[in-house]
Amino acid sequence: MSEVVDCAECKGACCEEFSIPDQGSRDDVSRWFGLHGSEKIPGPVRQLTFECRCTKLDGKGRCKIYSLRPRVCQDFEAGGSRCLEVLSRRRTIEERRRIIKQN
């Protein structure tokens, strides 16, 4: 049995935070990222996560620029491991039960 994510029910959890790998560089931009991000995704490469709800989400959590969205958004797979990780952090258990359907 597989899981299917109902994006309309989710209302954009994946668009409420953004993660980038910390390359360990100590230039000023990397230092700024380190001061403003938090390490929320442990793994082989340290990830910095930023709380930053996308300004292109409408009041119902839908993308207003879907056909023109950036590559990073296009590559984010609904129902993929990153999607489910974000859901586990950003939605309650009750919300996740409505969002994740068994197929």
26 & 67 share domain:
no
* pLDDT for 30: 74
Q: Is residue 76 within 8 Å of 51, Cβ to Cβ? A: no
> Is residue 61 domain-shared with residue 97, that is, in the same domain?
yes
Tell me which residues of the chain have a pLDDT lower than 70.
1-2, 39-43
- pTM, two decimals, is 0.75
Same domain for 87 and 65?
Answer: yes
Do 40 and 60 lie in one domain? The reply is no
Q: Domain check: are 96 and 64 in the same one?
A: yes
CA dihedral 48, 85, 71, 4 (to 10 degrees): 180
What's residue 40's pLDDT? 59
